[in-house]
Structure 1
Amino acid sequence: MKSRWFLTRTLNVVVATLLVGCGGKSNNAAPIDSDSGKTEIGVNVHELNERFYYMLPVENTSKSYKLLFAFHGSGGSGQGMAGMTRLHEQSDDYLVVYPKSKNEEWNEGCGCNKAHRLGVDDLGFVDDMVAELKAKYQIIDGEIYATGFSQGGLFVQNLLCNRSEVFNAIVTVGAPMSYQLGDSCNLTTPTNYRIMHGKADSVLPYNGKSHANFGLLSSPQAIKIVGDLNYEAALSVEQDLDDGVTLTHYPNRNIQTQLISVDGAGHSWNLSPVKTTQSIMEFFESTSQYALPAGSDLIKVSDNYYHVRHLTHQADKPTVVMLSGANMHFHSDSAWFALLQPYLSTQFNVYVIDRLGQGLSSNTSAPSMQKFATDLPVLFEKLDLSNVHLVSFANSNSVPLIAMQQSEDFKQKIASMLWMDPDILLPHSIAQYQGYPVDIYREWGQHLIDHVSAGKWQEKMNVKIAEEQAHVESLLEESEFAQHMDWGYFNQIMQTRYSIEAQLIRVNEMMNYHDDLELVRNWQPDSSIPITVIDSEFEQLDIEKAETEEARAGLIKWEAEGRKWSQEVAEISGGQYLPITSTEHLIPLTHPELIKQALIELSSR
């Protein structure tokens, strides 16, 4: 089971056993029998140019991963680092790699140790590992991390100073910084960085030490050097996190630079009361562009990442894939399924997929239903999906229809479809969808994009999102299904709507919606795939707000032909027509039981 931290800044505290010695191991670190094969804790050994690194077998090669390197201390091993830190047990969003030094030490950048004298190219070794792992697996762009203990911590500082463009964040444990590296360090790219150090460390002292060959700066001096490189002489502040635990940091910065100082802690990975492994992973997640909630993966198609959430794996259950559509403000992400997915997951394998630019999927310059429809068959292949019951909310019903036009193989994988308040694919209704605000957006084009880019929609968007939040809360206030609502997931996805990038996606997708509709204008239902339609009376709200009689008449016609068309689609295809006497459009939140029963009926055929 994967663990998640959701950008928390609070440190978990437990009583931890201390690990003594620069290259020491915990009691659960098993020995290596040879330089090949599988070790006792399950990590495999990989050879690369006569060097070695260790990692767990990768079972899912379709998903995209973050990449984390963990470097052992002097005299240690990659497998020993794995046994001590257990970083690979924290999250299945990371490929965790435990490299082995060529000799007993890393070439840490001080020009003062055995690895330097022997000319060991450890920076090149890291370059080679990154290249090999990117070639073998789907590594998320910009999501590479490193941590190291003791002399391995000194080495990750060398990575910080000489490979900052490669790493999103780096953490060193039990190591300050050498005089030499402090004098030469230069970041080509601002990089998130943290030092974690016990003040009673006698091996690599917290307060540094003077030495003709191997002098050490203090950890406060080291963090100031990196802070100045990241921020240009910014001032730090201190904050007490726990009894004897102090955080030195630079507040209100996009790039984090931190020192965690622990009174009484010696030269150890576990800096009691800090739980080091979990704290490091929290830090990495807080800096990540993709802080993924439980059940979520990123699947790469071409150069884009699609957010896919799959809560349970039940091979003997029918498979449901849910695609989101727009609410009244044209927000169209998987927040609308925050209740329905957990509710259905006891009886179905339920996947939720966000379009590009929606939720936690990556952004794109040309968002559209057509783009999603083109990539959906590829996603099905990567996820190994077949015999799928496809659920479409609102205007997302056009996506599978476009995809089926492009791919007969995709069509064969769809067992049934369930549409909730779908787009009505008749000339009058299509004209309604292509009217306001789509026509206005298309008319203003670049002027509107420039307006939004300048942040001039932010206040209006803040109000709309707050209204949506309050509306959903009111819907569930007395709902018998409220217990199934995943508020953590809902709130995380809702937060993605605030950014200017998200606002631009919304504008561009609405502009392209006109052309999306043209692709399904001539669609006709048949009996090849049963389609059940759940139909609310949400149109009544628009009719009541109509400002002219002409507009009112058009909306009334839209509602009437929508009722008739939805009934015909269900009848011709062999599905059900399920009307509900409610003006609430957010059917996934208000009628989960009706949706479940409809899917049970479809999947039982």
Structure 2
Amino acid sequence: MVQLRLLTLAALALLTGCGFDSRDSALYDLNQGRTGFKTHKTTASSDIRAYSLFIPHDYNPTRKYPTIVFLHGMGEAGRDGTANLRAGLGPIVADQQFRFGYICVFPQSASGNWTVDDAEAVLKVLDEVRRQYRVDDSRVYLSGFSAGGYGAWAIGARYPERFAALVPVSGFAAEQADTQRLAELRMPIWAFHNAGDPIVASENTRRTVHAINAAGGIAKYTVYNDNSHNAWQHVFAEPKLFAWLDKQTRRSNTVAYDTPKPTTYRPLKNTPY
């Protein structure tokens, strides 16, 4: 098991072009000082009993910080408050820990499921963080990977007043009622998927984005030329994503895109789209 973990971390380091030692240290040496990665216990719900945090190394209590709430996939379920950092946003933040300027909140689900029923618990975790740190309430973003991607659709639709934008990654399709609500609210959305995803078909994301835009929404969609499930390795290493997030505020009336079309296709060869 240890050998597998080390090989996985080494492979990810090569993929992102970042140092293995830096990521390993950030993700396994937790709760060191007042900034960096931290773990916390919570009583948010019977399923959500732990969460992790990333506090920027330049944290200054006199200013407010944009904040990302990230929902993990099934493989990171648990109650330890650490497994939820192993895939998705966590490894990318670890690679950039000394220059990453967002507070990051990583709730952990023991079941690995994220549905609208978990929404209040996720918000309880966010509010715990708000009481301790200077969160910019106008720039709170909700993202998730795989099962967490579905959670981003569901929770974002139920509590849109809490989030400035949604970033679902490799997720299951949203419910019809959620797509309609997100369209009516014109919630800024940028969704991602790998074209050859063997776990959750990219059609789930394509169908959801199409439904939102057909109903008057403003969702955009990027598909990567990759046959794995782990689109997060591309998504959170993409500087354009964070430049886009920086333009989204909860009170803004318009949405700025860095790409000319709401959907970017990077299809596999010989695959019709």
Bin of the TM-score, shorter chain as denominator length: 0.5 to 0.7
Correspondences of 1:422-461 after superposition (within 5 Å): none
1:86 match: secondary structure: helix
The one-letter code sitting in structure 2 at the alignment partner of 1:220 is R
Cα offset, 1:32, TM superposition: 8.0
2:124 match: secondary structure: helix
- C-alpha distance in 2 between matches for 1:91 and 1:149: 23
Q: Which residue of 2 aligns with 1:89?
A: 97
Q: Which residue of 2 aligns with 1:488?
A: none
- C-alpha distance in 2 between matches for 1:139 and 1:176: 29
Correspondences of 1:582-601 after superposition (within 5 Å): none
2:70 match: secondary structure: strand
Q: Which runs of 5+ in 1 are unaligned?
A: 1-14, 19-26, 110-120, 208-217, 232-255, 291-605
Q: Which residue of 2 aligns with 1:278?
A: 239
- C-alpha distance in 1 between matches for 2:189 and 2:99: 20
Matched, 1:200 2:162: no
- CA RMSD after TM alignment: 3.6
Does the 8 Å CA contact 1:69/1:96 hold for their aligned counterparts? Answer: yes
TM-score, normalised by the number of residues in structure 1 = 0.32
Q: Which residue of 2 aligns with 1:163?
A: 159
1:80–1:271 distance in 2 versus 1, CA, 3 Å = closer
Cα offset, 1:104, TM superposition: 3.5
Matched, 1:54 2:16: no
Correspondences of 1:532-571 after superposition (within 5 Å): none
- C-alpha distance in 2 between matches for 1:189 and 1:280: 21
Does the 8 Å CA contact 1:68/1:97 hold for their aligned counterparts? Answer: yes
Does the 8 Å CA contact 2:139/2:248 hold for their aligned counterparts? Answer: no
Does the 8 Å CA contact 1:170/1:193 hold for their aligned counterparts? Answer: yes
Correspondences of 1:377-456 after superposition (within 5 Å): none
1:16–1:108 distance in 2 versus 1, CA, 3 Å = farther
Where has structure 1 moved over 6 Å in runs of 4 or more?
30-34
2:162 match: secondary structure: coil
Deviations 1:235-275 (A, max 9, x none): xxxxxxxxxxxxxxxxxxxxx42000123342113565x66
- C-alpha distance in 2 between matches for 1:91 and 1:159: 29
Cα offset, 1:30, TM superposition: 7.1
Does the 8 Å CA contact 1:90/1:278 hold for their aligned counterparts? Answer: no
- C-alpha distance in 2 between matches for 1:265 and 1:48: 37
1:154–1:29 distance in 2 versus 1, CA, 3 Å = farther
Cα offset, 1:125, TM superposition: 1.5
Q: Which residue of 2 aligns with 1:43?
A: 37
Q: Which of 251, 255, 261 in structure 1 is aligned with 2:223?
A: 261
- C-alpha distance in 1 between matches for 2:14 and 2:26: 22
2:160 match: secondary structure: coil
1:129–1:282 distance in 2 versus 1, CA, 3 Å = same
Deviations 1:183-214 (A, max 9, x none): 5542373211011111110100112xxxxxxx
1:46 match: secondary structure: strand
The one-letter code sitting in structure 2 at the alignment partner of 1:259 is Y
Q: Which residue of 1 aligns with 2:208?
A: 222
Q: Which residue of 2 aligns with 1:431?
A: none
Q: Which residue of 1 aligns with 2:113?
A: 106
Q: Which residue of 2 aligns with 1:17?
A: 15
The one-letter code sitting in structure 2 at the alignment partner of 1:45 is T
- C-alpha distance in 2 between matches for 1:271 and 1:80: 12
Does the 8 Å CA contact 2:26/2:37 hold for their aligned counterparts? Answer: no
- C-alpha distance in 2 between matches for 1:16 and 1:283: 26
Deviations 1:534-586 (A, max 9, x none): xxxxxxxxxxxxxxxxxxxxxxxxxxxxxxxxxxxxxxxxxxxxxxxxxxxxx
Matched, 1:73 2:69: no
Does the 8 Å CA contact 2:74/2:146 hold for their aligned counterparts? Answer: yes
- C-alpha distance in 2 between matches for 1:74 and 1:198: 18
TM-score, normalised by the number of residues in structure 2 = 0.66
Correspondences of 1:260-339 after superposition (within 5 Å): 260-270=222-232, 276-288=237-249
Q: Which residue of 2 aligns with 1:374?
A: none
Q: Which residue of 1 aligns with 2:5?
A: none
1:131–1:189 distance in 2 versus 1, CA, 3 Å = farther
1:16–1:195 distance in 2 versus 1, CA, 3 Å = farther
- C-alpha distance in 2 between matches for 1:30 and 1:262: 29
Q: Which residue of 1 aligns with 2:269?
A: none
Correspondences of 1:566-577 after superposition (within 5 Å): none
The one-letter code sitting in structure 2 at the alignment partner of 1:123 is A
**Across the two proteins, how many residue pairs are aligned to each other?**
217
Does the 8 Å CA contact 1:192/1:287 hold for their aligned counterparts? Answer: yes
1:145–1:86 distance in 2 versus 1, CA, 3 Å = same
Q: Which residue of 2 aligns with 1:600?
A: none
Cα offset, 1:42, TM superposition: 4.3
Does the 8 Å CA contact 1:200/1:266 hold for their aligned counterparts? Answer: yes
Deviations 1:3-38 (A, max 9, x none): xxxxxxxxxxxx9739xxxxxxxx95679889x955
Cα offset, 1:161, TM superposition: 1.7
Q: Which residue of 2 aligns with 1:472?
A: none
Cα offset, 1:131, TM superposition: 2.1
Cα offset, 1:182, TM superposition: 2.9
2:127 match: secondary structure: helix
1:225–1:282 distance in 2 versus 1, CA, 3 Å = same
Cα offset, 1:97, TM superposition: 1.4
Cα offset, 1:78, TM superposition: 2.5
Cα offset, 1:284, TM superposition: 0.7
